[in-house]
Amino acid sequence: MAEQTERFLSIVRQIADTDEVISFHERNDRCVFFEVRTEQGRSQVVMAQLIDAGGGVQMVHMMSEIGPADPSLYEAMLVRNLSFCYARLALVEGDGGGYNFAVVYAYPLSELEVVEFARAFGEVAYMADGIERELYGGSDKT
């Protein structure tokens, strides 16, 4: 388990050193946060966490929250999932109760390479930012 945690942290630290990452925060629970440059001076926070999927399989879960989940948008968001190759839209618990929409992605750590992780977290960040702009017309992130 310690070896897998070190592999995960090695990969995310390499990504954290790239120009696309504005800030990087590492917690003690195998969870990291990247603030990623997107378009037009905007940014998006992407969380990545190493989790035990059972049977000795370690998965890297990535997530970027979009904004408050309006139930009137549930059907449209589910239909939008059909257009995604790897990532998916989900509901995640918000800070003040309620739910937020989020873009999520999961990948087996055993198959993850730095270039794959960079592509995946970039996809999550750009997709979340685009949907956020479309649904809410902006962001409180700069």
Dump pLDDT digits (tens) for 63-73.
999 999 999 99
| Distance of alpha carbon 40 from alpha carbon 10, whole angstroms | 30
Mean pLDDT of 91-112: 92
Q: Domains in the chain, start-ordered, CATH in brackets?
A: 2-136 (3.30.1460.10)
Residue 138 pLDDT: 57
Q: How far is CA 76 from CA 41, 68, 84, 101, in A?
A: 28, 15, 13, 12
Mean pLDDT across the chain, nearest whole number? 90
> Residue 37 corresponds to which tokens in the numbers above?
């440059």
Residue 142 pLDDT: 37
Residue 57 pLDDT: 92
Q: Return the H-helix or E-strand segment holding 122.
A: helix 114-136
The reported pTM is 0.88
> Residue 43 corresponds to which tokens in the numbers above?
């940014």
Q: What is the dihedral of CA 2, 93, 42, 33, to 10 degrees?
A: -10
Segment 30-72, tens digit of pLDDT: 999 999 999 888 999 999 999 999 998 999 999 999 999 999 9
pLDDT band, very low/low/confident/very high, at 6 (cuts 50, 70, 90): very high
Share of the chain above pLDDT 70, in %: 96
CA angle 35-86-120, nearest 5°?
A: 30
